[in-house]
Amino acid sequence: MSTKVMLLITVILMDLLTGMEFDLFVPSFPELQSHFNLSPSLVEALLSVNFVGYALSLFFVGALADHYGRKPIILLGLSIFTMGSILCLLGKYELLLIGRFLQGIGIAAPSILSFLIIADSYPIKKQQYLMAMLNGVMNTAVAIAPVVGSYLTLYFHWQGNFVTLLLLGLISLVMTMVFIPTYTLPERAETVSFREYISLFQSKPLTLLVAHIVVMVSPYWIFVGMSPLLYMESLGVSLSHFGYYQGVLALIFAAGSVLFGLIINRFEQKKMLYFSNQIFIVSLICIGLASFFDNFSPLLITLVFIPFIIAQVVPSTILYPLCVSLMPQAKAKVSAVLHGTRLVFTALSLQVAGYFYRGSFRNIGIIISICILVVIVTLFFIIKNREIMKPSQESV
């Protein structure tokens, strides 16, 4: 195989690892609770500490990668992730907790830098095509991770999930060493300074793009975060069926991303974004009506959310490459800002949704509708912004 093909396979593997790292071991919670004699809060801490490690690591990764290059920081991150995975297998809860923290720290590097390897190697339109394919891979991994985790737990107990993550991490580490080229730094490499993050927001086009992308992803995570309470506790969906309701949304997005990637060069991107905004409006109406009538059908609630998932496909594919390309010397910092801001905004949105949750879809739907309205407005201004849309008109 050619070097570029192996590079893409390595990036795909890193995306698979990123997509599975969070969800793969969740089905083993009951066994972990029994094995270590833990309270529910101590089991949930295995998720929380991973999230904290990831969030803390993001901005260090962005600053270091713009100064030292992508490859060494990815190697460092995957090495930390591998050490964390080994600690998770040593059979003590305290070491498992530390291991999950290190996994969170380590996974930040491949999470925010894997696409930048593509951004450094290909023109914008090729980046957008590959972004669509990677979105398909990532969301397929998210959809199947709980299912795979369930079978691993069934046949290999809770250790099987961490052995799988360890192997994926080691393979990604070796392939990164062999197939990812050393990033050629620009003539003026960015300094390792966190003040540079503040200067990013002096760019109005970048701020607009970040705001749109961050708010656009939040409705999905609000829905995913609140759906276990809504579907299983309030609407009576069984545990065996719940995964289908959640997984179908990720699979629809994955299939839509791959399909769009295959046709992306056949249509003008501005027209496709206009069309996406119209679908966002349809989704706002559907979710608004479901909220107004306080729908109690889990199937119908899932169906009214599908137009929003479809509407996300085009902007998430087109706009992310444009966003990181606005400041070529600070791509990693821009990527870190996107991921970090998304984490913070999503966490706050979930807290708001949890605070106003009253056992039905109504309040969740209202909060999601407000986010979609912001998405519609920001996308309208993005389409009208010549500085943002100009790169999308460039020929390959």
Cβ(387)–Cβ(205) below 8 Å:
yes
Cβ(252)–Cβ(306) below 8 Å:
yes
| 24-52 mean pLDDT | 76
pLDDT at 239: 60
3-state SS string for the chain? CCHHHHHHHHHHHHHHHHHHHCCCCHHHHHHHHHHHCCCHHHHHHHHHHHHHHHHHHHHHHHHHHHHHCHHHHHHHHHHHHHHHHHHHCCCCHHHHHHHHHHHHHHHHHHHHHHHHHHHHHCCHHHHHHHHHHHHHHHHHHHHHHHHHHHHHHHHHHHHHHHHHHHHHHHHHHHHHHHHCCCCCCCCCCCCCCCHHHHHHCCCHHHHHHHHHHHHHHHHHHHHHHHHHHHHHHHCCCCHHHHHHHHHHHHHHHHHHHHHHHHHHHHCCHHHHHHHHHHHHHHHHHHHHHHHHCCCCCHHHHHHHHHHHHHHHHHHHHHHHHHHHHCCHHHHHHHHHHHHHHHHHHHHHHHHHHHHHCCCCHHHHHHHHHHHHHHHHHHHHHHHHCHHHHCHHHCCC
Q: Is the pLDDT of residue 392 over 60?
A: no
Q: Is the pLDDT of residue 116 over 50?
A: yes
pTM comes to 0.76
pLDDT at 257: 84
pLDDT at 192: 54
Q: Do domains 3-180 and 198-393 have the same CATH topology?
A: yes
Residue in 252, 238, 239, 245 with CA at minimum distance from that of residue 223: 245
Q: Is the pLDDT of residue 396 over 70?
A: no
Q: How many CA atoms lie within 13 A of 318 on its CB side?
A: 28
CATH architecture of 198-393: Up-down Bundle (1.20)
The proportion of the chain whose per-residue pLDDT surpasses 90, expressed as a percent, equals 28
Q: What would the two tokens of residue 285 be? A: 């109406």
Average pLDDT, the chain: 83
CATH architecture of 3-180: Up-down Bundle (1.20)
Cβ(265)–Cβ(340) below 8 Å:
no
> How many Å apart are CA 78 and CA 101, to the nearest integer?
13
pLDDT at 258: 84
pLDDT: which is higher, 172 or 43 = 172
Spell out the domain ranges in the chain.
3-180, 198-393
Tens digit of pLDDT for each residue in 194-242?
666 777 778 888 899 999 999 998 898 888 777 767 877 788 877 667 6
> How many Å apart are CA 131 and CA 129, to the nearest integer?
5
